[in-house]
Structure 1
Amino acid sequence: MNTDIKRILVTRDFPDKGIERLKERAGFKVTLWDLERPMAPEELVEGAKSHDALLCTLSDRIDKAFLDACAHLEIISQYAVGYDNIDVAYADSLGIPVGYTPDAMTEATADISFGLMIATARQMFFMHKIIIDGQWGHFRPKGNMGVLGQALKGRTLGIYGMGRIGLCMAQRCHGAYGMSVLYWSRSSNAEAEKTLGAVRVEFDELLAQSDVVSAHCALTPDTRHVFNRAAFKRMKPTGIFINTARGPIHDEAALLEALETGEIWGAGLDVTDPEPMAKDHPLLSMPNVCVLPHIGSATKEARELMSVMAAENIIQFYDTGEIPHQVSV
């Protein structure tokens, strides 16, 4: 083991389990940014300049400018399953490996996707607002304020990106509602096809045939705004769009237009573009829209596991030269 003191910069007040592992590790000196707000870009650069390793998250912009200023870094470990905030290819060209925390939030995020689907189909957020606004009133056969939801049993689910989270979402929908599963993905998913009868289709068919379209892909140049005006026009007018992946995967102006014109029926979002969403955004006042503040990983268990995995990436790197969960370039 290298006996030199390694200085670790931790950019947020992450759950204790992982951070304690770093602090207890002989030969590590840990600097913890413990303010509620994220580090400003200039603070991040200045802080990283005097450290050997960085434990960061999605709010930290690890771009070419940062990497040029901090090319001495020996490892970057990301507290997230996504890493679109990091220029991984450029980091690799500088010899800086990047770790991340896959699987830790799979179940938690699939739960949010499933919950948003149900909440949107039954317009739960709007109904909650009716109570707060004192408009509950008497029983109305045609719905409170003329609003009725829609059933999900036996409908068709379209998964855009059949990875770990997409598969968990499909399992929930198929098991609970007997939903048929279509999916678009860069590669086939044998488990989904064998256990769920899922059928891999082209994107246009996914949009046209699905009653619920749920996005579970990484944010890349190819997936940025893949759900645009043209995509929403191809969906059923009764269709529901769910996004718990990344906000820029959908074009928010196009989504708003599709909902206002009735091109699609509803939307459930755990991610927006930008984040946070403005409190007076028109999507927030629509009865057929449910928005959450990016809480896909927000269970105690998931967040603690992410902290441990991010810490272990750094510990194992210095102990063995290997990173348990390294981003492939």
Structure 2
Amino acid sequence: MKKNIVLYKTIPADQLKRLQQHFNVTIFDSVNQSNHADFRRALVNAEGIIGASTPITADDLAIATKLKAASTISVGVDQFDVSAMTARGIPLMHTPSVLTETTADTIFTLVLCSARRIIEMAEMVKAGQWTKSIGENHYGWNVSGKTIGILGMGRIGYAVAKRAHAGFGMSVLYYNTYDHPEAESQLNARRCDLDTLLAQSDFVCVVLPLLPSTEKLIGKKELQKMKPSAFLINGSRGKIVDEAALIDALETGVIRGAGLDVFEVEPLPIDSKLLTLPNVVALPHIGSATHETRYAMVECAVDNLIAALNGCLTHNCANPEVSKK
């Protein structure tokens, strides 16, 4: 007999067909206020769930008494009550490997766009304001040869460091809970404490998971330790940066600018001060948003759920301690 699962995101037809070959699938294109009650009713009989962008709370898990596995179409797992899932022995799978290079591309795009004022200058041209050779008030700043400080030397952090070192001759500093020998031997990266990284970096790139220990890791004190000429780049999770403190730092010249793909509240509210600041590049959380990568993420998430519910999951588990229960 096929197991019951709940799919709560639109996915390509061929990947939906794969799920339907293995499971009885209850489908929600997304979860919103109008169908949330139906979604919760579906959880009652679900042995597996797969989707993205919808919080799965302890209350949701409490009614999902038959749940045996969850698969998220993302690398981040902050939408889930991971502690509650682990306590129940429910594996939570994610897609950490397939989006590494695409996300690193996005982060380094933010570095370049912020320093060279690419978005600002492109909008000037499109608005018909390029009427003579540009002057000093439109100049940007070099990226090559500068120092990049990377908070988090995991897969994506290392991919960003490779681009910085090999492509732009940048010095690489990193802040991490453990040494990364390959980054040090191949990229001449140097591990240091947070204060040193902030003080010495021309670009501070946040590439950390959102955890209780990283929430608002970058606040007023940390921003004040950065160079006035430095840029803050955030391509991980918005809540790692104290947004109010960042806005103040950008308005008062504590730092030169910021490139942001993530925010405390998403979508970014239309009245956010960040949208009024010329020294901010703001993107709509597009880190992994290419056709190839988003397809690969769905395929990986489907693989993960099939493996977990068949009892043969070997990797991509965000809470691997459940295997010890």
Q: Structure 1 residue 54 and structure 2 residue 85: aligned?
A: no
Q: Structure 1 residue 12 and structure 2 residue 6: aligned?
A: no
1:232-286 CA-to-partner distances (Å, cap 9, x unmatched) read 0000000011001001011111111111111100100110110011234222232
User: Structure 1 residue 37: deviation in Å?
Assistant: 5.8
CA distance in 2, matches of 1:217, 1:206: 15
Kindly indicate whether the alpha-carbon contact (under 8 Å) linking 1:270 and 1:293 is maintained by their aligned counterparts in 2: yes
Aligned-partner residue type, residue 294 of structure 1: H
TM normalised by structure 1 equals: 0.92
- 1:301 maps to which of 292, 307, 322: 292
CA distance in 1, matches of 2:249, 2:203: 15
CA distance in 2, matches of 1:38, 1:248: 24
CA distance in 2, matches of 1:39, 1:163: 39
Residue aligning to 2:180 = 189
Residue aligning to 2:208 = 217
Shift in CA distance, 128/289, structure 1 to aligned 2, threshold 3 Å: same
Residue aligning to 1:21 = 18
Residue aligning to 1:101 = 95
* Alignment RMSD: 1.7
User: Structure 1 residue 324: deviation in Å?
Assistant: 3.3
Residue aligning to 2:25 = 30
Residue aligning to 2:279 = 288
Kindly indicate whether the alpha-carbon contact (under 8 Å) linking 2:161 and 2:172 is maintained by their aligned counterparts in 1: yes
1:193-241 CA-to-partner distances (Å, cap 9, x unmatched) read 1100100000000000000000110000111111101110000000011
CA distance in 2, matches of 1:282, 1:135: 24
Secondary structure (helix, strand or coil) at the match of 2:97 reads coil
CA distance in 1, matches of 2:35, 2:172: 43
Secondary structure (helix, strand or coil) at the match of 2:300 reads helix
Shift in CA distance, 129/282, structure 1 to aligned 2, threshold 3 Å: farther
Residue aligning to 1:233 = 224
Kindly indicate whether the alpha-carbon contact (under 8 Å) linking 2:257 and 2:279 is maintained by their aligned counterparts in 1: yes
Secondary structure (helix, strand or coil) at the match of 1:182 reads strand
Gaps of 5+ in 2: none
1:144-293, aligned counterparts within 5 Å?
146-293=137-284
Aligned-partner residue type, residue 135 of structure 2: P
1:66-106 CA-to-partner distances (Å, cap 9, x unmatched) read 11121321111111111011111211211211111111110
Kindly indicate whether the alpha-carbon contact (under 8 Å) linking 1:5 and 1:29 is maintained by their aligned counterparts in 2: yes
1:88-137 CA-to-partner distances (Å, cap 9, x unmatched) read 12112112111111111101100000101000001111112212333222
Residue aligning to 1:88 = 82
Kindly indicate whether the alpha-carbon contact (under 8 Å) linking 1:99 and 1:323 is maintained by their aligned counterparts in 2: no
CA distance in 2, matches of 1:139, 1:259: 28
1:165-215 CA-to-partner distances (Å, cap 9, x unmatched) read 000001001111100000000111111011001000000000000000001
Q: Which moved more, 1:44-53 or 1:183-192?
A: 44-53
Aligned-partner residue type, residue 15 of structure 2: G
Residue aligning to 2:132 = 138
Q: Percent identity?
A: 38
Secondary structure (helix, strand or coil) at the match of 1:108 reads helix
CA distance in 2, matches of 1:43, 1:243: 36
Number of aligned residues? 320
User: Structure 1 residue 17: deviation in Å?
Assistant: 4.3
Aligned-partner residue type, residue 2 of structure 2: I
Kindly indicate whether the alpha-carbon contact (under 8 Å) linking 2:8 and 2:31 is maintained by their aligned counterparts in 1: no
